[in-house]
Amino acid sequence: MNLLKKAYVYTENYRNNLIISYFAVIFSTIFYLLISQVIRISIDILSHNIEAKNGIITSFLRQIINRENFLESLLISSVLIVTLTIIRGVFTFLRSIHSNVAAEGIAKSLRDKLYGHISKLNYEYHIKASTGDTIQRCTSDINTVRRFLALQSTELFNSIFMFILVVILMFNMNVKMTFIGIVLMPIIVIYSYYFSKKVHFLFTEVDESEANLSTALEENISGVRVVRAFGMQAYEIEKFDLKNKDLKEKIFKLINYIGNYWSISSLIALTQNAVVLIFGAFMVVDGKLTLGTLVAFTLLVNQMLFPIRQVGRILGDMSKAKVSIGRIEEILDEEAENYDEGITDHEFKGYIEFKNVNFSYDKRPILKNISFTIKPNEKIAILGTTGSGKSTLMYLLTRLYSNYTGTITLDGIDIKKFNKHYIRKNIGLILQEPFLFAKTIQENISVARPDADFKEIELAADISSVHSGILEFDKGYETLVGEKGVSLSGGQKQRISIARKVLTDAKVIIFDDSLSAVDIETDMNIRNNLKNFKKDATTILISHRISTLKEADKILVLENGEITAMGDHNDLLKISSLYKKINDIQKNQSA
Ligand SMILES: Nc1ncnc2c1ncn2[C@@H]1O[C@H](COP(=O)(O)OP(=O)(O)OP(=O)(O)O)[C@@H](O)[C@H]1O
């Protein structure tokens, strides 16, 4: 019930389709019962002229068929049966169309809802969640809910409704035969229920094995260079072969089990049929049952058996649907970032201040008592040991994390009061490992401003020192970048991502070690180009290169989450031992 209540919410917009398919189930069942009765009464009238129990159908048939005009009557009842079967077929068709329209519609709106929500979830969620798991929730979990809501629920309704009506009708025809007709049904339901549980487990095993195989394949393809460099091909092939074998064995096990189930349950179903026929035949011989009633019983029992065999499976699948709905709701219950509130109309001047900022990841202190200011148009640089918290500092500034203590202000206003889009539009963060989409270079540059014209894109690429490199490709800006930009060098990828930011009108540009993969000369060119192009932009440079750092107006030295020194190049040579050490090492390397 809880499941149905939860699931009901997702049927919005498709409830009419579901109602039509439920009604179609009702009418298709009623017509089937009608057909069985027409067959029963026709056989009884035409074979022995037996006075069947009076009723609407009997009175109607009595008027149009009789034993005296045998052939004509046979034809009439056949036409009647075919007509009723066609009408039933129309209802079955309606049921199928409407339940499938509802199924696909519900799945689509659920996918839209889930994806829309995921795209608004905070950075912290994305860092912690596994990509594979999230994709599974958006695909196979939605598929399970789709099948349950629109297909299995109508199937379940059909099975229950059919069972109740058939039993009532059979009771009406013959009480003793009714018990005989359903004697093996409980065995079939229990068996199919246990089957579905076991099969669920086997399906999960196959899914896991398939996921292992895909992961191995994905790792091998994307890590092809490492595999070759270490001569690991033979080892990787063997590893893949083992996983492939495991998948084959699990699929065999599953097929075997399903095959056994259908054979055994068919045997039980056939036994049930045989029981009806044998007992029924004796009763017909004893004159306790008419031939027509026996035929009707055989038809009804047969008709009931297939849906009953499905009930166990549907019940098993319901538990799967419950888990899937839970997994989907886990995401939907995550609080989304609010992009609607906050200041958006501020004329940003570029004054930034960190005041006593402290931040922890899972209670582990990362930034400790950070205080510094950046004036508009100033160029500041950050040097720090690995893991000292440089990137984290920039994540706080762009509001990827908000759970810090202390204050961060823009032009004297707390950044928490600004709209998040506004902050990220004005403060452009360029990451060390940029992500490129499986699109053309031109599209990759214009993601930040899809309305930019080609001249602007070219200029942005030129400023980022990547224009001439792009033109060397046969298709130039139309070159398709692979899923992870594999056809581009690390430096090219970094420069394309810089071009993206150049295209925006961000007032602050942060280079988070995003020039690390380009040589010193290109690094300098890009910075000079930017200086001329974005004259009034504030720049924050995270770098390990003294040649880059020394041009900054102010350099922060970060060690273990603390600012240990602050000043320009000459100041730091005197006051920071870390800065001096790095300077000496790099000086010796270039000497
Ligand atoms: N999502 C996270 N959850 C937990 N700890 C994290 C998370 N992200 C980073 N850290 C930890 O926080 C510390 C600071 O990370 P950060 O990336 O800010 O350092 P960094 O100075 O930029 O390092 P690098 O120079 O290597 O890029 C590191 O010890 C890192 O392991």
Q: Does residue 280 fall inside a structural domain?
A: no
pLDDT at 27 over 90: yes
Tell me, in angstroms, the distance from the centre of ligand 1 to residue 386's CA.
Answer: 8
Rounded to 10 degrees, the C-alpha dihedral 346/352/353/354 comes to: 110
The string of pLDDT tens digits covering residues 309-324 is: 777 777 777 777 887 8
Rounded to 10 degrees, the C-alpha dihedral 271/157/260/142 comes to: 180
Q: Does residue 265 fall inside a structural domain?
A: no
Atom of ligand 1 nearest to the CA of 389: 18
Structure confidence at residue 358 (pLDDT): 94
Mutate to test the pocket of ligand 1, among 125, 390, 510 (most ligand atoms within 8 A of CB): 390
Q: Which domain holds residue 19?
A: 1-173
Mutate to test the pocket of ligand 1, among 388, 393, 400, 430 (most ligand atoms within 8 A of CB): 388
Into how many domains does the chain fold?
2
Structure confidence at residue 586 (pLDDT): 78
Tell me, in angstroms, the distance from the centre of ligand 1 to residue 392's CA.
Answer: 6
Q: Does residue 181 fall inside a structural domain?
A: no
pLDDT at 431 over 60: yes
Structure confidence at residue 590 (pLDDT): 61
Tell me, in angstroms, the distance from the centre of ligand 1 to residue 399's CA.
Answer: 16
Structure confidence at residue 504 (pLDDT): 84
The string of pLDDT tens digits covering residues 329-352 is: 888 888 888 888 888 888 888 889
Is there a contact between 405 and 358 (Cβ–Cβ < 8 Å)?
Answer: yes
Higher pLDDT, residue 433 or 15: 15
Q: Does residue 505 fall inside a structural domain?
A: yes
Residue nearest ligand 1's atom 23 by CA: 387
Q: Which residues line ligand 1 (CB under 6 A)?
A: 127, 361-362, 366, 384, 386-392
Listed residue (242, 238, 552) closest to 378, CA to CA: 552
In percent, the amount of the chain with pLDDT more than 70 equals 96
> Could you report the predicted ipTM of this complex, rounded to two decimals?
0.96
Q: Does residue 530 fall inside a structural domain?
A: yes
Contacts of 457 by beta carbon, 8 Å cutoff, 6+ apart = 442, 445, 446, 477, 499, 503
* Residue finishing a domain among 114, 145, 173: 173
The string of pLDDT tens digits covering residues 130-155 is: 777 788 788 888 888 888 877 788 88
Higher pLDDT, residue 471 or 128: 471
366 φ/ψ angles, rounded to the nearest 5 degrees: -115, -45
Tell me, in angstroms, the distance from the centre of ligand 1 to residue 368's CA.
Answer: 14
Q: Does residue 257 fall inside a structural domain?
A: no
* Residue finishing a domain among 104, 138, 173: 173
List % helix, strand, coil for the chain (3-state, nearest 5).
65, 10, 20
Q: Does residue 282 fall inside a structural domain?
A: no
Q: Does residue 447 fall inside a structural domain?
A: yes
Query: What average pLDDT score do residues 486-504 get?
Result: 83
The string of pLDDT tens digits covering residues 28-86 is: 999 999 999 899 888 888 887 565 566 777 788 778 877 778 888 889 989 999 999 99
Q: Which CATH number fits the domain that encloses residue 432? A: 3.40.50.300
The string of pLDDT tens digits covering residues 258-280 is: 888 888 988 998 899 999 999 99
* Residue finishing a domain among 115, 143, 173: 173
Structure confidence at residue 447 (pLDDT): 87
Q: Which CATH number fits the domain that encloses residue 32? A: 1.20.1560.10
Structure confidence at residue 591 (pLDDT): 58
- Categorize the per-residue pLDDT at 325 as very low, low, confident or very high, splitting at 50, 70 and 90: confident
